[in-house]
Amino acid sequence: MRMEWIDDILAVLDTGSLARAAEKRLVTQSAFTRRVRLIEESIGAELFDRRRKPVTLLAGVEALAPELRDLSIRLRQIRHKLHTANSEAGSALSFACQHAITTTVSPWIVRALTTQGDGPVRVRSSNQEECLMLLLSDEVDFVVMYTVPDMPTPFSESAFETLTLGGDILIPVCAPELRDALQSNLLTTISYPSNVFLGQVFDRHIVPRLNYEIQVATKAETALTLAAYEFAVGGIGVAWLPRSLVLAAIAEGALISLEGELPVQPLDIKAFRLSGHTGLQSQSAWRDTLSQIALPEHLKPLTHLTADNAPSS
């Protein structure tokens, strides 16, 4: 099945007649009619109902429209990949991000990289441990992750070159209807597993600073910040989320910030790559782009702040 045949069939389906389909396909009606005949002869079956005026597709062919559209898209994608495979070989720049950073920070990085370079940029999203594994296995050129300022990382930074790109704050938020419930000593929360980065931050840097009279009751647990965000909006409990992720929801009133009532934790946004990485494109991205990337004001470095003097909404 040739791609132009699929497009011819879909043109008839979309326009409702051979004449209008010919106009859409930029050929004369007689030339289009010959093409239709050729398609049917090649397939060995009639596709069009010529008993009706204007001529239309047979009902059985119309039923295949979703599959034909999907096939048309996939054939174009394959053609594009075949066309660019040689020119892009070895030139694609790839990096991995923690899930939350993929949502809030990676668009700025991709914009900077695609402005400076001609090749494509591939973005992987995973947790911190998996991001590092992608880097160590040379599947990505660099990774972008959160770290806690002035705290040692669970891996040896001597094996990596690092750049501090910006900063964020892990803040407590909840749906507006839950504010009154905060007056009690029972804090219902949306938590992270203790084996993921934000779970460790919560356990080590948030819980120890809660009022000793407060009891924490976990209502839901997820490793995904976007899921925790939706749970918070849905009124399930209080969630500690990157401030960059919830700014819009706070402005719209879907969430309220509890920064003045519960502990917060500043975070650094850092890029890591293997020491001695020699890829020319990644060298350029690292030296010329990442080192000078202009993140928005709410993602500027916050390393001069402590958990006690971080800004509130």
- Structure-block tokens of residue 84: 């660019």
Q: What are phi and psi of 31, to 5 degrees?
A: -65, -35
**pLDDT tens across 25-55, in order?**
788 888 878 888 887 788 787 877 777 777 7
Residue 285 has pLDDT above 80, yes or no: no
Please say whether the beta carbons of 148 and 205 come within 8 A: yes
For residue 172, the one-letter residue type is P
Please say whether the beta carbons of 258 and 69 come within 8 A: no
User: Residue 253 — left, alpha, or beta (φ > 0 → left; ψ -120 to 50 → alpha)?
Assistant: left
Count of CB atoms within 10 A of residue 133's CB? 15
Please say whether the beta carbons of 173 and 241 come within 8 A: yes
Q: What percent of the chain has pLDDT over 90?
A: 28
Q: Select the highest-mean-pLDDT range: 2-16, 124-138, 274-288.
A: 124-138
Structure confidence at residue 4 (pLDDT): 79
| CATH code linked to domain 3-87 | 1.10.10.10
Residue 312 has pLDDT above 50, yes or no: no
Give the separation between CA 119 and CA 203, rounded to whole angstroms.
Answer: 41
Give the separation between CA 124 and CA 61, rounded to whole angstroms.
Answer: 39
* β-pair partners for 160: 274
**Overall fold of domain 93-313:** D-Maltodextrin-Binding Protein; domain 2 (3.40.190)
Please say whether the beta carbons of 87 and 22 come within 8 A: no
Computed from CA positions of residues 32, 34, 35, 41, in that sequence, does the dihedral angle turn out positive or negative?
A: positive
- Structure-block tokens of residue 266: 């500043």
Please say whether the beta carbons of 208 and 296 come within 8 A: no
3-state secondary structure of 255: coil
Higher per-residue pLDDT: 189 or 115: 189
Rounded (to 5) percent helix, strand, coil in the chain: 45, 20, 30
Q: How far is CA 247 from the centre of its chain?
A: 18
- pTM for the whole structure: 0.64
Please say whether the beta carbons of 235 and 175 come within 8 A: yes
Count of CB atoms within 10 A of residue 163's CB? 16
Residue 305 has pLDDT above 50, yes or no: no
Structure confidence at residue 296 (pLDDT): 78
| Average pLDDT for 66-78 | 77
Structure confidence at residue 96 (pLDDT): 93
User: In the chain, what is the greatest distance between 2 CA atoms, to the nearest angstrom?
Assistant: 84
Structure confidence at residue 134 (pLDDT): 86
Structure confidence at residue 242 (pLDDT): 94
Computed from CA positions of residues 39, 44, 46, 47, in that sequence, does the dihedral angle turn out positive or negative?
A: negative
| Average pLDDT for 231-243 | 95
Where do the structural domains in the chain lie, given as residue ranges?
Answer: 3-87, 93-313
- Structure-block tokens of residue 106: 């990676």
* β-pair partners for 32: none
